[in-house]
């Protein structure tokens, strides 16, 4: 009986009825936020390898200049269209919180807490069952609240003006809190049924990264993350074993235009290493990510310089739907400025995401607002 219950829980992590759930992007183990700061998100992720506030490349930490603390809020508004019918949903995320401090002249120590995969949704459908020889109508509902989070501790060293590198340890934690319920139409004869369960995740990884300036105005950055063992637990019992996803990425940045940067980035994420953590019904896939972005110097407002950012991105999501890959294309814009004589920075971005699979289309708009304080 216990094995059957665990199997049922793992099946819940597969695709739910889309029209009820109202989201294509939250299938599989969840939606990959990209672990991007607001600034990196405004360039569609192109600057993630060189951005000190994005927990992607530990070698980027010295780019913060001095000790800092940053956090952000990212509400997303989604609309999915299935068979001519549209469903609107909204999710609010706090995808990245980070803190970093300079150690000595060349060292930098940082810690961050970010969302690797977000999985929060509701689904319901009509069902008819036989009770005491009679067919009874009912509504079956599933509610999932959860995420897999990445707690990272990183250390970076700036060898000279041309080369800096870093190492990091990642601890993956999180849980899916699920409620399965059935409500009968005839409430005078039958009461409702409900089952609350929690499926928790635990895993680890290590990462390394490098930034270099081989030529004037040209920066190269690269990072790699190697996933370790990962487990799921149902309450206090081990449910499944697998591996945390591995990743590698690289970018090239040109800053020959005064006050501006042009960036291109490629990244590959090995999500299929997580396949054994779920049910056989899950279509887990590796994903490629290509992005281009620009950070352009704008006018000064009351003596404070403004930055304008744009970006475009094309990537795979880490799951298939009905045997086909799910693609996401993003257009992003944003701006940023300093406050309090450089002691704080405010960044704002808007991302427009189009996600497609066979016969399905989802549009998402993410508004991101980030604050960085440099005491």
% of the chain at pLDDT higher than 70: 93
- Residues 36 and 265: their CA atoms lie apart, in Å, by 13
Q: Is residue 76 part of a domain?
A: yes
Q: Is residue 200 part of a domain?
A: no
CATH number of the domain bearing residue 20: 2.40.160.60
Q: Is residue 320 part of a domain?
A: yes
Which of 130-139, 251-260, 263-272, 355-364 has the largest mean confidence? 263-272
**What is the model's pLDDT at position 31?**
92
For residue 291, the enclosing domain spans 15-118+148-169+207-373
User: If phi over 0 gives left and psi between -120 and 50 gives alpha, with beta otherwise, what is residue 307?
Assistant: beta
In the DSSP assignment, the letter for residue 14 is S
Number of domains in the chain: 1
**What is the model's pLDDT at position 22?**
60
- Residues 249 and 101: their CA atoms lie apart, in Å, by 25
User: If phi over 0 gives left and psi between -120 and 50 gives alpha, with beta otherwise, what is residue 217?
Assistant: left
The residue length of the chain stands at 375
Q: Is residue 128 part of a domain?
A: no
Q: Note the pTM of the prediction, 2 decimals.
A: 0.85
Which pLDDT band, with edges at 50, 70 and 90, does 21 fall under?
A: low
- Residues 153 and 171: their CA atoms lie apart, in Å, by 9
**What is the model's pLDDT at position 295?**
95
Task: Please name the residue ranges forming H helices in the chain.
Answer: 2-12, 18-21, 38-41
Q: Is residue 125 part of a domain?
A: no
**What is the model's pLDDT at position 38?**
96
Which pLDDT band, with edges at 50, 70 and 90, does 18 fall under?
A: low
**What is the model's pLDDT at position 61?**
94
pLDDT exceeds cutoff 60 at 150: yes
Q: Is residue 104 part of a domain?
A: yes
**What is the model's pLDDT at position 328?**
95
Q: Is residue 124 part of a domain?
A: no
pLDDT exceeds cutoff 70 at 182: yes
Q: Is residue 229 part of a domain?
A: yes
Backbone angles phi, psi at 276, to 5 degrees: -70, -5
């Amino acid at each position: 009986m216990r094995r059957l219950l665990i199997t049922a829980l793992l099946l819940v992590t597969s695709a739910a009825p889309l029209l009820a759930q109202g989201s294509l992007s939250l299938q599989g183990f969840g939606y990959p936020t990209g672990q991007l700061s607001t600034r990196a998100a405004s360039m569609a992720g192109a600057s993630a390898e060189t951005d000190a506030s994005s927990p992607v490349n530990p070698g980027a930490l010295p780019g913060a200049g001095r000790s800092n603390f940053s956090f952000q809020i990212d509400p997303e508004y989604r609309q999915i269209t299935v068979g001519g019918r549209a469903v609107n949903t909204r999710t609010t995320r706090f995808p990245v919180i980070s803190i970093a401090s300079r150690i000595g002249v060349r060292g930098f120590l940082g810690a961050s807490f970010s969302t690797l995969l977000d999985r929060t949704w509701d689904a319901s459908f009509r069902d008819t069952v036989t009770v005491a020889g009679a067919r009874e109508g009912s509504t079956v509902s599933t509610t999932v609240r959860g995420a897999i989070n990445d707690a990272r501790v990183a250390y970076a060293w700036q060898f000279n003006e041309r080369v800096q590198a870093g190492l990091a340890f990642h601890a993956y934690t999180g849980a899916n809190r699920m409620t399965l319920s059935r409500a009968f139409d005839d409430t005078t004869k039958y009461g409702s049924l409900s089952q609350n369960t929690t499926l928790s995740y635990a895993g680890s990884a290590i990462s390394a990264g490098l930034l270099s300036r081989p030529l004037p105005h040209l920066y190269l950055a690269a990072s790699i993350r190697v996933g370790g063992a990962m487990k799921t637990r149902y309450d206090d019992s081990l449910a499944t074993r697998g591996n945390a996803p591995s990743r590698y990425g690289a970018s090239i940045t040109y800053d020959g235009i005064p006050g501006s940067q042009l960036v291109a980035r490629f990244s590959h994420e090995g999500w299929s290493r997580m396949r054994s953590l779920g049910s056989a019904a899950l279509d887990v896939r590796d994903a490629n990510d290509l992005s281009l972005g620009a950070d352009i110097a704008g006018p000064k407002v009351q003596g404070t310089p403004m930055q304008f950012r744009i970006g475009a991105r094309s990537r795979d999501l880490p799951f298939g739907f009905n045997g086909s890959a799910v693609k996401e294309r993003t257009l992003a814009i944003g701006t940023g400025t300093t406050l309090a004589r450089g002691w704080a920075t405010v960044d704002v971005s808007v991302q427009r995401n189009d996600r497609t699979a066979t016969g399905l289309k989802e549009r998402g708009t993410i508004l991101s607002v980030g604050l960085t304080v440099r005491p």
